[in-house]
Structure 1
Amino acid sequence: MENLMYFFLLDIPRAAGIWSALIVVAFAAMAVLIARRPRPEAADAGDVLRGEQGGRLRAAVAGRARLTAEAEELARYAEEVGVAATRAAETARRRREEWLASQDEVEEAWKAYEAADADARRVAATTYLPVPRTPRTPAEYADRERYLHRAALSACGRQELSVLELSDALAHRNGWDPRRHPVEQEVVLRRAVRDGRLAAQRRAAERERAAWHTAEAAAVAAQSLRDEAFAAAERARQAAHLLPPTGGTGNGTGNGSARDVSRRPQQATRWRAARAG
C-alpha cells in the first residue's frame, strides 16, 4: 500500500506537466486559428469594394453601349440626310435647267411676236391705198373664198395659225369673211397671226414664272437639306470622338469602333450645292 502511494505521488508532477503541455498546445492552436480567421469587418469591406468595382464596371459598359448606340444612330441619320441633300441638289439642278429652257422659249416667242407684228404693220400699211375695184360677181366671191382658204391653210402649215383658228377661217367664223378683198383678208390673217404669237408669248412667260418659282423652291429645299446634312455630320463626328477607346495594341488600332462610326458621316458631306451658277 505504501508502495502504491509512493508511485502515485511520484506520477502526479509528471501528469501535471503533461496536462500543462497539452493545455499550452491547445491554447497555441486556438490562437493560431483565431489569428487566421478573417474578421467580419474586413470581409464586409472586401465585399463592398468588390461590389463598387463591379458597379462601376457595369456602369462603364452600359455608358459605352449607350454612347455607341447614339453615335451609330447619329451616323445613320447623317448618312440619310446626306443622301437626301444630294438628291435635292440634283432636283434643284434639273429645275434650274428647266427654268433656263423656259427663258429661251420666252425669248423665241417674243421674237416670233415681233416678226408677226412687223408683218401685220407692213400689210396694214397697204390699206391706206384704195382697194382695187373688182366686179362683185359670184365667181369673184368664189375666188376670194378660195384665196382665204388657201391663205389660212398655208398659215396653219407654217404653224402661224392654230387648228382652231383654221377651223374658224374655213367656217367663216370670228371675223373671217370670205367676201372681203384679198388685201383685206391678208390684213385680217396677219393680225390673227400676230395675236396668236402674242398669246403664245404670254403663255411662255407664265410657264417661265412657274418654272422660276419651282426652281426657287427646289433650291431652298436643297439648301436646307445641305445645312441639315452638314450639322448632322458634325454631330456624328463629335459623338464618335467622345467614344472611349476599346483597347488594343500600341499601334493605334484599339479605337476601331470610334473610327468606324466617325467614318460613316464622311460620306454625308459629299453633296453638291443646290444653286447652280
Structure 2
Amino acid sequence: MHSVLELFYVGVPRAAAIWSILLVLSVLAISGLRMVGPRGPRRPRLRTRLRAARIRRERRATAAAELVRYAEEVAVAATRAEASARRRHDTWLAAQDAAERAWAAFDRAEQAARRLSAAALLPAPATPQTPQEYAERERWLHRAAMSACAHNELSLLDLNDALAHRNGWDPRRHPAEQEAMLRRAIRDTLGAAERTAAREERIAWTAAESAAAAARSLRAEAIAAAERAHGVRHLLRPDAAADPDRRRQRLRTAVAR
C-alpha cells in the first residue's frame, strides 16, 4: 500500500507537468497560426489593392494632363483672339478716318452748293444765243461732269444723265445754272458716301468691341486654366504631357487587367 501511494504521488505531478507543457505548446501553435493566417487568399487582395492604386494614379495623371493641355489650347486661342482684336481695332480706325474724310468732303460740297444756290437767285449775265455758245455750254457741262466723276464726286448714273441730257441736265442753260445743278448733284453723291462711311464705321466699331470682349474673356479663361494646370502639374508622369494618347491607352490596359 505504501508503494502504491508513493507511485501515485510521484507519477501524478509528472503527468500534470507533461500535460501543461503540451497545452502551452498547443496554445502557442494556435496563436502562431492565427498571426500568420492563410497566405493563399491574401495575395489576391494585395494585388487588387495595388492595381486599384495604380489605376487611381493613372486617372489622376490623365486628368492633370487634360487640364494642362486645355490650358495650353486656351492660351493659344487667347493669343489669336487678341491678334484678331488688334486687326479689328485697326480696321475701325481706318473706317473712322474714312468717315471723317467723307464728312469733310460732304461739308465742303454742301457749302459750295449753298453759295451757288444763293448766286443763282441773281440774274444770269447775258450771253449771245448762238449755236457756238450752246456748243460751248455743252462741252463745259460734259467736262465738268466727267471731272467730278473722276474725283468720285459724281455717280456714274448722274454722269450718264449729264452726258445724255436727262433728268434736268440741259446744256442750253447758262453755265452758272449748270454749275449750281452740278454742285447739288455732287453734294447729294458725297452725302450718300458720307452716310455709307458712317455706317461702315459703326459696323467696324461694333466688330472691334466684340473682338476685344472675346479676347478679354479668353485671356481671363487662359489665366484661370493656367492656374488650375499649375496646381496639378506635379501629378503628371514624365511622359504624360508629351503623349496623352499613350496615357489613355495605359489607363485602359490597367483597368482591363
Does residue 1:227 correspond to 2:207, yes or no?
no
Greater displacement, 206-215 / 115-124: 115-124
CA deviations on 1:33-90 (whole Å, 9 max, x unpaired) are xx99997545535455555543332222211111111111111111111111111111
Of 149, 154, 164, 1:161 maps to 154
**Alpha carbons 2:137, 2:174 under 8 Å: kept:** yes
Partner of 2:119: 126
Q: Does 1:257 align with 2:237?
A: yes
What is the CA–CA distance in structure 2 between the aligned matches of 1:203 and 1:174, rounded to whole Å? 24
Deviation for aligned residue 1:144: 1.8
Could you say which residue in structure 1 is the equivalent of 2:58? 65
Q: What is the deviation of 1:135?
A: 4.2
Counterpart Cα distance in 1 of 2:82 and 2:100: 27
Task: Tell me the amino acid that sits aligned with residue 168 of structure 1.
Answer: D
In structure 1, runs of 5+ residues without a counterpart are 1-31, 244-255, 262-277
Task: Give the match for residue 19 of structure 1.
Answer: none
1:145 to 135, 138, 142: 138
Matches within 5 A, 1:47-196: 47=40, 50-196=43-189
Other structure's SS at 1:257 match: coil
| Equivalent-residue separation in structure 2 for 1:108 and 1:259 (angstroms) | 60
Per the TM alignment, residue 183 of structure 1 is displaced from its structure 2 partner at its CA by 0.5
Matched residue count: 215
Is the CA contact 2:62–2:240 (under 8 Å) kept in the aligned structure 1? no
- Rounded to whole Å, the distance in 1 between the matches of 2:96 and 2:151 is 23
Q: Could you tell me whether the CA contact under 8 Å between 1:240 and 1:258 is conserved in 2? A: no
Q: Work out the CA distance in 2 between the residues paired with 1:184 and 1:201.
A: 25
Could you say which structure has the larger radius of gyration? 1
Relative contact order (alpha carbons < 8 A, sep ≥ 6): 1 or 2 greater?
2
AA at the equivalent of 1:257: R
Report the TM-score when normalising by structure 1: 0.69
2:64/2:229 contact within 8 Å kept: yes
d(CA) in 1 for partners of 2:29 and 2:167? 124
Distance 1:51 1:159 in 2: 90
Aligned equivalent of 2:247: none
> Counterparts of 2:50 and 2:153 in 1: how far apart (Å)?
86
In structure 1, C-alpha distance between the alignment counterparts of 2:192 and 2:81, rounded to whole Å: 34
Q: TM-score, normalised by structure 2?
A: 0.74
Q: Report if aligned partners of 1:92, 1:218 keep a CA contact under 8 Å in 2.
A: yes
Quick check: 2:65–2:240 contact (8 Å CA) kept in 1?
no
| Alignment match, 1:13 | none
Q: Deviation per CA, 1:154-174, whole angstroms, max 9, x where unpaired? A: 222333223332112101122
What amino acid is the match of 2:59? R
The alpha-carbon deviation at position 179 of structure 1 amounts to: 1.7
Unaligned runs of 5+ in 2: 1-24, 242-257
The RMSD of aligned alpha carbons is 2.8
Answering whether residue 193 of structure 2 is matched by residue 213 of structure 1, we say: no
By how many angstroms is 1:202 displaced? 0.5
Amino acid corresponding to residue 198 of structure 1 in structure 2 = G
Q: Distance in 2 between matches of 1:157 and 1:220?
A: 41
Identical aligned residues as a percent: 55
**Distance in 2 of aligned mates of 1:38 and 1:65:** 41
In 1, distance between residues paired with 2:205 and 2:151? 31
Is the contact between residue 240 and residue 259 of structure 1 (CA under 8 Å) also seen in structure 2? no
